[in-house]
């Protein structure tokens, strides 16, 4: 068992962790640095106890991030440095030797499999005790990486950051795992690769349930291999270096953004005199915003000039274009419409305010001597009772 120092949002900064490697294999630590020799792997433990997998450090990776520096300058084409997350328990997924030709059926997330010539990440889902290789999710660096490369020069160390992105729902809770995003950075250069597969959503509980232990490795992968393809050299005395490991939480969450409020039409206004209806309005509606249903405001929705013919039967509320509390509900059609009462716009509407109470205004109107029936036009409302006097008239300022 070898100690090393790392930072964690769960157990704190400068925490001492432990590495449980393969006995007899090369492993060395110094402060925050881990150096792992060829054909070795080591699990990260939170306490110095290798007797049970419960000693492993289990981070809640959903919506979180893990990052570290890595040096693969001494990991040639036929070798691979690895940093993995794997489901761990004392039954089917332990760090014990499984024997020859036995592959444990444990979900594994390769945060990196890398050497001087290649870099890839991969998730291998294993659900209900069985791994499904056909459903594995893989992302691979295809350019800008290699010895002496102007992007990421693998003869020097570089930084790896892996984030496990989730969306936040309206209640503020995390949803399913959406993608695994890995960014490689060196100086001013960066490369980002993304695992985005449907199978990731099925693994959400594993990422959120403190089931994933971390391990690091330096392995012989031969040629050809999935990391760097066909090799011209063999794997000899490979050594990988991992250092400055940091685990963080809740920094890979797409925060819920509520949709912008929408304007809701609540129907006709009580009268055409409501604030907001404005002058010359022939139909006014009440509105509210979806995020403030108690705050009613009024807007005019029609300023067409209409000719009012006769009073509509029934209450104003029974006519969709009449204001709900205004008794001046009249049959009408657009002024100048040759179809008159046969117009497709013929409907009951509230008489505009500037046409009310003017029937006896001799300063504004010129009247003929012919008396009209009291139920004609607006006379039926403004001349109630048998004593009503209604006459044909026109405005004095009318040009015709």
**Strand 33-37 versus strand 145-146 pairing type:** unpaired
Looking at the chain, which residues constitute the CATH 2.70.100.10 domain(s)?
2-254
Q: Quote the percentage of the chain above a pLDDT of 90.
A: 73
Q: pLDDT value at position 343? A: 96
Task: Give 108's strand partners.
Answer: 86, 124
Q: pLDDT value at position 395? A: 66
Q: pLDDT value at position 386? A: 42
Q: pLDDT value at position 344? A: 96
Q: pLDDT value at position 296? A: 97
Cα separation, 297 vs 289, in Å, equals: 9
Q: pLDDT value at position 371? A: 60
First-to-last alpha carbon distance for the chain, in angstroms, is 106
**Strand 212-220 versus strand 65-74 pairing type:** unpaired
Which stretches in the chain have pLDDT values below 70? 99-100, 357-365, 367-395, 397-400
pLDDT in tens, 198-254: 999 999 999 987 899 999 999 999 999 999 999 987 788 899 999 999 999 999 999
Name residue, tokens 């809640």.
60
2-254: CATH topology: 1,4-Beta-D-Glucan Cellobiohydrolase I; Chain A (2.70.100)
Give the chain's length. Answer: 400
Cα separation, 246 vs 313, in Å, equals: 78
| Nearest to 109, CA basis, from 251, 215, 3, 20 | 215
Q: pLDDT value at position 374? A: 55
Nearest 5°: the CA angle 137, 138, 140 is 165
CB under 8 Å to 382, separation ≥6 — which residues?
A: 356, 357, 358, 359, 390
């Amino acid at each position: 068992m070898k100690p090393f120092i790392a930072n964690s949002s769960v157990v704190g900064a400068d925490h001492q962790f432990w590495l449980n490697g393969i006995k007899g294999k090369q492993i060395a630590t110094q402060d925050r640095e881990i150096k792992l020799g060829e054909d070795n792997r080591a699990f990260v433990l939170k306490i110095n106890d290798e007797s049970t997998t419960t000693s492993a450090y289990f981070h809640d990776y959903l919506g979180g991030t893990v990052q570290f520096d890595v040096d693969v300058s001494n990991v040639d084409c036929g070798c691979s440095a690895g940093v993995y997350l794997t489901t761990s328990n004392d039954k089917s997924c332990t760090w014990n030797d499984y024997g020859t030709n036995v592959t444990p059926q444990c979900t594994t997330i390769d945060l990196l499999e890398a050497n001087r010539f290649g870099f890839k990440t991969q998730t291998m889902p294993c659900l209900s005790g069985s791994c499904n290789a056909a459903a594995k999710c893989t992302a691979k660096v295809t350019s800008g990486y290699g010895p002496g490369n102007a992007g990421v020069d693998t003869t020097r160390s570089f930084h790896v950051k892996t984030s496990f992105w989730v969306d936040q729902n309206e209640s503020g809770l995390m949803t399913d795992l959406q993608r695994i995003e890995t960014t490689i950075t060196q100086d001013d250069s960066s490369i980002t690769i993304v695992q985005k597969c449907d199978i990731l959503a099925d693994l959400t509980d594993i990422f959120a349930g403190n089931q994933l232990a971390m391990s690091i490795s330096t392995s012989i992968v031969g040629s050809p291999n999935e990391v760097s393809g066909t090799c011209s050299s063999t794997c000899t005395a490979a050594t990988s270096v991992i250092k400055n490991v940091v685990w963080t939480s809740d920094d890979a969450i797409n925060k819920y953004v509520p949709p912008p409020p929408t304007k809701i039409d609540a129907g006709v206004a009580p009268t055409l005199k409501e604030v907001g209806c404005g002058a010359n309005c022939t139909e006014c509606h009440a509105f509210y915003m979806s995020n403030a249903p108690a705050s009613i405001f009024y807007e005019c929705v029609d300023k067409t000039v209409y000719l009012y013919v006769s009073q509509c039967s029934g209450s104003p509320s029974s006519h969709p274009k009449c204001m709900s509390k205004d008794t001046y509900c009249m049959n009408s059609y657009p002024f100048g419409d040759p179809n008159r009462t046969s117009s497709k716009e013929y409907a009951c509407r509230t008489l505009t305010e500037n046409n009310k109470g003017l029937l006896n205004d001799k300063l504004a109107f010129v009247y003929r001597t012919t008396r009209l029936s009291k139920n004609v036009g607006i006379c039926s409302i403004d001349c109630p009772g048998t004593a009503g006097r209604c006459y044909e008239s026109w405005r004095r300022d009318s040009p015709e």
